Copies of this chain bind each other. A is one copy, B any other.
Amino acid sequence: MSDATVTDLYEVTMAMSYLREGMTEPATFSLFVRALPPDRGFLVSAGLDSALDFLSAFRIGDQDADAFAAALHRPRRALAPLRGLEFTGEVRAVPEGRIVLAGEPLLEVTAPLPQAQLVETYLLNQLSHQTAIASKAARCVLAAAGHPVVDFSLRRTHGTAAGFQAARLSAMVGFTGTSNVAAATAVGVPAVGTMAHSYVEAFGSEEDAFRAFARAHPGPVTLLVDTYDTEAGVRTAARVLRDLDRGPGSAIRLDSGDLGALAIRARGILDCAGLPDVRIVASGGLDEYAVDQLVRSGAPIDLYAVGTRVGVSADAPYLDTAYKMVEYGGRPVMKLSSAKVTAPGRKQVFRRPGYADVIGLRGEPPPSGGRPVLETVMRDGRRTDAPFALEQARARFTADLHELPRAAVRVRDPVAPRAVASERLTALAAQVRHRIGEENLPPAAAWRRRHEQTT
């Protein structure tokens, strides 16, 4: 079975019906985030690279079709129309690393209707997850205010693949390393980390442990000082580092307790011991809120290691993403059901200074000062974008971040800029709403809707 089966059964039932009805005209689906979670002033687009890899390889092989038939309790021949189907469409998308706002398409797929439908599940999965994590990690970088931040999350992410993504996405927004060797190797970032409490416990004493560690590892070392009593641990670490002349580049790590207060005391002990170059690393349940507080308090912490809460985006572990058909066979469409109205038509996002973004129709002239955000990244089922490069994605993020209003980059109670619809998009939405209302609603409901529109 190929990844083509990583699709929800309803995509298959719909595709079968479309093929039966000859409904294979081009459809455009728009993937966007309806609303930002609380405490998000912006999102960082991510997931495109794996989404495009999926689309490039998409082909319903015989085994895939058999799996569909089995799931539907249908004979194998019922799936004949889907066998061999590939993705031949066009994709326009926001490059990874760029900042996006609520309602702005992250990606638009235009392809024969059955194809565009079958890829929904996978695309939503990749973009929802990765955008959520990249956005969370970005907030840690903001909170750290210039201090380096590293990723310690893999041990509690949702599986190991999610841990790899946490390493990749956090590096994309500026983290300087990850704890996991496989993830570091895959992503091409430094692996970081030294010892656990269990290491210290395995020796007769903390000092024995520190000395043994230094024996095994030439050069700078990081010593974990809070296994028993943190202040005593710092003194022991200072003694060992001084004795061995291993101060410069070395560090101590604080992993529990009042990190701000302990860092102040540790700094004092290290300085008095003549070790002003020994850095202080903080870890242990940190996220952007905790880092922000420590940085604001002026704690003498040199590097922040954030883990679980960032790797799972604990306060917003999912995004309110949608993959909605906005055009079929040249006809703009929209959904009207309560609270989930979608805007019709193929779109473009025009970014104006200060994030006064305008969501318009594809092909409409940019508003004054507006630059298009969506780019064509796939044509005829083939990628046309440059291969993903971490450095370029990071550069895009940094450039976009620089332009964000201050209220949006606050860690607490940020205010997200709001994109507005262009006049043409607004007019199209009104027109489609009217048309659908006339066609599908019973007279009373149609009247209600018209009435709501005009009041």
A452 part of interface (Cβ distance < 8 Å) = no
Q: With the chains together, A432 CA to B180 CA distance in Å?
A: 32
Q: With the chains together, A217 CA to B10 CA distance in Å?
A: 12
Selected A-B contacts with CB under 8 Å, 8 pairs: A6-B154, A17-B216, A20-B216, A125-B155, A162-B162, A197-B325, A204-B439, A230-B338
Instruction: Identify which of B161, B181, B195, B228 contacts A337 (C-beta below 8 A).
Output: B228
A336 part of interface (Cβ distance < 8 Å) = yes
A23 part of interface (Cβ distance < 8 Å) = yes
A355 part of interface (Cβ distance < 8 Å) = no
Check if A441 sits within 8 Å of B229, measured CB to CB. yes
Check if A181 sits within 8 Å of B317, measured CB to CB. no
Chain B's nearest CB lies how many Å from the CB of A83?
A: 15
Known: A198-B325, A206-B440. A213 touches B156 (CB 8 A): no
A290 part of interface (Cβ distance < 8 Å) = no
Known: A71-B184, A71-B185. A17 touches B154 (CB 8 A): no
Instruction: Identify which of B181, B229, B314 contacts A71 (C-beta below 8 A).
Output: B181
Check if A9 sits within 8 Å of B445, measured CB to CB. no
0/1 interface trace, chain A 111-137, chain B, CB 8 Å (1 if under): 001000100111011101100010000
Chain B's nearest CB lies how many Å from the CB of A416?
A: 20
Chain B's nearest CB lies how many Å from the CB of A98?
A: 21
Check if A71 sits within 8 Å of B191, measured CB to CB. yes
A243 part of interface (Cβ distance < 8 Å) = no
A395 part of interface (Cβ distance < 8 Å) = no
A179 part of interface (Cβ distance < 8 Å) = yes
Chain B's nearest CB lies how many Å from the CB of A31?
A: 11
A29 part of interface (Cβ distance < 8 Å) = yes
A244 part of interface (Cβ distance < 8 Å) = no
Q: With the chains together, A53 CA to B15 CA distance in Å?
A: 37
A426 part of interface (Cβ distance < 8 Å) = no
Report the count of interface residues on A (CB-CB < 8 A).
112
Check if A212 sits within 8 Å of B17, measured CB to CB. yes
A415 part of interface (Cβ distance < 8 Å) = no
Residues of B close to A117: CB separation below 8 A: 196, 198-199
Q: Known pairs A125-B155, A308-B318. 19 more at Cβ < 8 A?
A: A9-B194, A10-B196, A13-B213, A14-B195, A17-B216, A120-B155, A125-B159, A128-B155, A158-B317, A201-B328, A202-B328, A202-B333, A205-B439, A226-B337, A228-B440, A228-B441, A256-B338, A256-B339, A257-B338
Residues of B close to A255: CB separation below 8 A: 337
Q: Which residues of A contact B (CB under 8 A)?
A: 1, 3, 5-14, 16-18, 20-21, 23, 27, 29, 67-68, 70-72, 113, 117, 120-122, 124-126, 128-129, 133, 152, 154-163, 165, 179-185, 190-199, 201-202, 204-206, 212-213, 215-217, 226-232, 235, 255-257, 308-309, 312-314, 317-319, 321, 324-325, 328, 333-340, 436, 439-442, 445
Residues of B close to A17: CB separation below 8 A: 199, 212-213, 215-217
Residues of B close to A68: CB separation below 8 A: 181
Among residues of B, the one whose C-beta sits closest to the C-beta of A177 is B9
Q: With the chains together, A285 CA to B11 CA distance in Å?
A: 19
Check if B334 sits within 8 Å of A201, measured CB to CB. yes
Check if B156 sits within 8 Å of A198, measured CB to CB. no
Known: A17-B217, A180-B7, A308-B318. A440 touches B256 (CB 8 A): no
Q: With the chains together, A198 CA to B15 CA distance in Å?
A: 11
Chain B's nearest CB lies how many Å from the CB of A139?
A: 16
Nearest 7 CB-CB pairings of A with B? A10-B193, A158-B158, A198-B325, A17-B216, A71-B191, A5-B182, A158-B162
Check if B29 sits within 8 Å of A198, measured CB to CB. yes
Residues of B close to A314: CB separation below 8 A: 317-318
Chain B's nearest CB lies how many Å from the CB of A44?
A: 16
Check if A14 sits within 8 Å of B339, measured CB to CB. no
Check if A13 sits within 8 Å of B217, measured CB to CB. yes
Instruction: Identify which of B67, B185, B197 contacts A182 (C-beta below 8 A).
Output: B67
Chain B's nearest CB lies how many Å from the CB of A287?
A: 11
Known: A158-B312, A162-B158. A229 touches B317 (CB 8 A): no
Check if A445 sits within 8 Å of B125, measured CB to CB. no
Residues of B close to A157: CB separation below 8 A: 125, 129, 158
